[in-house]
Structure 1
């Protein structure tokens, strides 16, 4: 009977580390400490581990795959137009280059970072996208340590040393608030997304500053999880308050559609009693009555730009950041002067 050939799993058990850590150490990749690397290599030599010739040939080969892990509830992805359109844009660019997208839904950012480490250590991806950047966000430093090509789909202020692809939300908010102020609105609330997300924080700050500059009331901002249920709940709170706003901006169109339903249910006329504006202009915004005034942008193109930037990094080692066009305001039937 032939003797068992030593494997990476054997080294991992002896060293008390994961197989991914062993792969990092044996392939001289970042991601493990010098002491751990030395210990793993010593164990490999001691037990007589030798790399498989086919695996060694593949060590520096491209996977022709890039990764995206999302810490969002899986049920939300099926109804969230933004991510579906973003992914369609990424896929369009990747498929034209013979590259694939590895997509994984995870429970939290820590699991997302671990997923990226595993993919990179196992050679399953050539690079990754980071979305929903938080404050603070350990993924930024963790990915930078690995030396993995990565594109942050978010503002440069939160990207650290990684390459960002972003659009200017403050410009879109300025156009919207200026338009509502011209109609005569002075009290403009917002139903926003998750408060820990950088783009939510940037929108919050921009709304306060722009509202003050236009002489509008201090804005009331209600943070939610982007779902229709929470959008509806936030709308009920706003329009039931003693100081009801005359206009509400929603951070996505699912919440805006839910808000429209709540306003009509509570006997308000949209737009005479309450004007509504939706961020992201999917088909949802256009099929309801009245159709929603929306901040429209080409989200598939946004995804394509992110994919193009990441593929350039994989091919050339680096790529400049890319600022996409800001969302533009498309007035429809859900906004009018307040009565």
Structure 2
């Protein structure tokens, strides 16, 4: 039966002692340059890899970082954001031959339990923490555990590095665009209310609406769980009101497409009687008819930035706040001036 090669196998093949193999593979003195090179060549030929569990028990790094998503599982399968984020993260980690340990849990308490278990088992060298909360227990826990971390989407501060995007300015740009077209009744179909970036978007919407002279009866936010089902349900509710909005802003592409389908079902033409904006651009936004106006950003680059910052922290770097490239609004056929009679 095939089995993993061991230090003993390498020693036998190279004609040296097991202690010599250990010295060579761990970059310790005690063997000559030629012997070290021969041992490493044999190890590569045999396909030997270090045992991460043994390395962790010896106090060395595990060679892995962790990522936990505390969201309802049914909301992840259709949303492209996390797939693109993880692809960017993985691109950086793979170049450094670092593994990504990934887990989905139901809530924040379960996520904290995972961090405690990973710390106790020395499973990861650090973690990427996504979806920062307005009241977030995770930074304090990670500081207590002395587990290096980078907050992805956090506003910075404290003992941990953060990478973030300017959600407030992006929301301002959306509202400016819709207001310039003549929209005065605008509803934001938001995501999960406890997330820090959702709070920033909602606060920015209120601030910009007030600056433009639009009260909360005309510009407001409605929270959902990011799913297409809740996005569609929220769309039905607001469009059934006596004075429905003339423009809808959705916190992701999936809800925007679902909202567009609801409008078609209700015989409300887009954009003649209803304008639609999606927060994150994707292929869904570009193949839907009409194509959806959307915020365009390089989510994979955001993931790369987060992974690079975590590697910098693991190398001993200080906590930093790093801003990703600001999203830009891409106007398409789903936004237009509202009909005068609507």
TM-score range, shorter chain: 0.7 to 0.9
What is the count of residue pairs matched by the alignment?
A: 285
Q: Distance in 2 between matches of 1:210 and 1:77?
A: 31
Task: Give the superposed CA RMSD.
Answer: 1.5
Q: 2:170 aligns with which of 169, 172, 189?
A: 172
Q: Distance in 1 between matches of 2:318 and 2:144?
A: 16
Alignment-derived partner of residue 307 in structure 1: 307
Alignment-derived partner of residue 110 in structure 1: 109
Alignment-derived partner of residue 143 in structure 1: 142
Q: Distance in 2 between matches of 1:168 and 1:258?
A: 26
Deviations 1:191-235 (A, max 9, x none): 001111111111111100001112234222110000000000000
Written as runs of structure 1 = structure 2, the 5 A alignment for 1:1-339 is 55=54, 58-156=57-155, 160-218=158-216, 219-339=219-339
3-state SS of 2:271 partner: coil
Q: Distance in 2 between matches of 1:307 and 1:176?
A: 29
Q: Distance in 2 between matches of 1:281 and 1:170?
A: 17
Q: Distance in 2 between matches of 1:334 and 1:264?
A: 12
Are the equivalent residues in 2 in contact too, given 1:186–1:217 (CA < 8 A)?
Answer: no
Alignment-derived partner of residue 10 in structure 2: none
> 1:57, CA displacement in angstroms?
7.9
CA 1:124–1:298 in structure 2 vs 1: closer, same or farther (change >3 Å)? same
Q: Distance in 1 between matches of 2:55 and 2:264?
A: 65
In structure 1, runs of 5+ residues without a counterpart are 1-53
> 1:76, CA displacement in angstroms?
2.4
Q: Distance in 1 between matches of 2:137 and 2:198?
A: 18
Alignment-derived partner of residue 15 in structure 2: none
CA 1:279–1:121 in structure 2 vs 1: closer, same or farther (change >3 Å)? same
CA 1:57–1:310 in structure 2 vs 1: closer, same or farther (change >3 Å)? closer
Are the equivalent residues in 2 in contact too, given 1:59–1:123 (CA < 8 A)?
Answer: no
Alignment-derived partner of residue 22 in structure 2: none
Are the equivalent residues in 2 in contact too, given 1:309–1:319 (CA < 8 A)?
Answer: no
Q: Distance in 1 between matches of 2:215 and 2:261?
A: 25
Q: Distance in 2 between matches of 1:57 and 1:103?
A: 18
3-state SS of 1:316 partner: coil
Q: Distance in 1 between matches of 2:238 and 2:159?
A: 40
Q: Distance in 1 between matches of 2:270 and 2:56?
A: 64
CA 1:273–1:167 in structure 2 vs 1: closer, same or farther (change >3 Å)? same
In structure 2, runs of 5+ residues without a counterpart are 1-52
Runs of 4+ in 1 over 6 A off after TM superposition: none
Alignment-derived partner of residue 38 in structure 1: none
CA 1:55–1:95 in structure 2 vs 1: closer, same or farther (change >3 Å)? closer
> 1:58, CA displacement in angstroms?
4.2
Q: Distance in 2 between matches of 1:55 and 1:271?
A: 61
Q: Distance in 1 between matches of 2:272 and 2:94?
A: 47
> 1:256, CA displacement in angstroms?
0.2
> 1:190, CA displacement in angstroms?
0.5
TM-score normalised per structure 1: 0.81
Are the equivalent residues in 2 in contact too, given 1:67–1:125 (CA < 8 A)?
Answer: yes
Alignment-derived partner of residue 19 in structure 1: none
| Greater Rg by CA | 2
> 1:162, CA displacement in angstroms?
1.6
